[in-house]
Amino acid sequence: MIIIGAGGHAHAVIALWRALGVEPLGLLADDGPAEVMGLRRLGTPARAGEWRAQGVARACIAIGDNAARARLGAALAAQGFALPAAVHPSAVVMDGARIGDGCVVMPRAVLGAQAMLGPFCILNTAAVLEHEGSAGEAAHIAIGAMLAGGVRVGARALIGAGAAVLPGVAIGDDAVVGAGTVVLRDVAAGARVAGVPARELGGRSGQADVHGVRSDHAAVSVDGRQSQLE
């Protein structure tokens, strides 16, 4: 197992894998500290193929930027890496729930009955995605967010820390819901909303300033394809 990323989210992901009894080999990142939680930075993501050729079969993407996480996931899968989901032992996964490749489900998170996480999602600490809810590829449901039954979260969308979303509401692709927001009705793709109740802010989402969970500050690349993270 090798970890991609060396920012803040990498700390949580390393701790998660250790809770599952897995000690990662090290980190690949274009920037950041030389060591995170005792794991050395072994090079850049552009060298991932070399590690795969040496027999490293599994990788986990520990990057907070949703779009970059999706791109890296596709690139690593194309190189033959397995991208297993990681579910903390204290998380609650109810009957019929489904978890896609590369997801991380953090401590005390709840995934309700028949709920679904697409690939590379983050269900963060104490967040809840209730029964029959869904999250698209590389969505992030941040710390303590509460999504009631049947909520649909689009690909790469971000639900900020402590937000609440009422039953059956749809959050569009690439939307950002600010920390502590209460969402009563659907949110359009790419929109940024905040407040109680939610109101749309100006501009389109950059996932950098309203959600309470900033993206990692790093540039990452696989096989020369670079994605500058905010």
- To which residue do tokens 């000690």 refer? 23
Q: What is the dihedral of CA 101, 104, 109, 113, to 10 degrees?
A: 0
Of 9, 88, 131, 211, the catalytic one is: 131
Measured between alpha carbons, how far is 38 from 90 in angstroms, rounded to an integer? 24
Measured between alpha carbons, how far is 189 from 172 in angstroms, rounded to an integer? 4
In the DSSP assignment, the letter for residue 47 is G
* 131 labelled catalytic: yes
In the DSSP assignment, the letter for residue 8 is H
**Residue 48: helix, strand or coil by DSSP?**
helix
Measured between alpha carbons, how far is 166 from 43 in angstroms, rounded to an integer? 44
Q: Which two tokens stand for residue 90?
A: 């204290």
Catalytic residue numbers, as ranges: 131
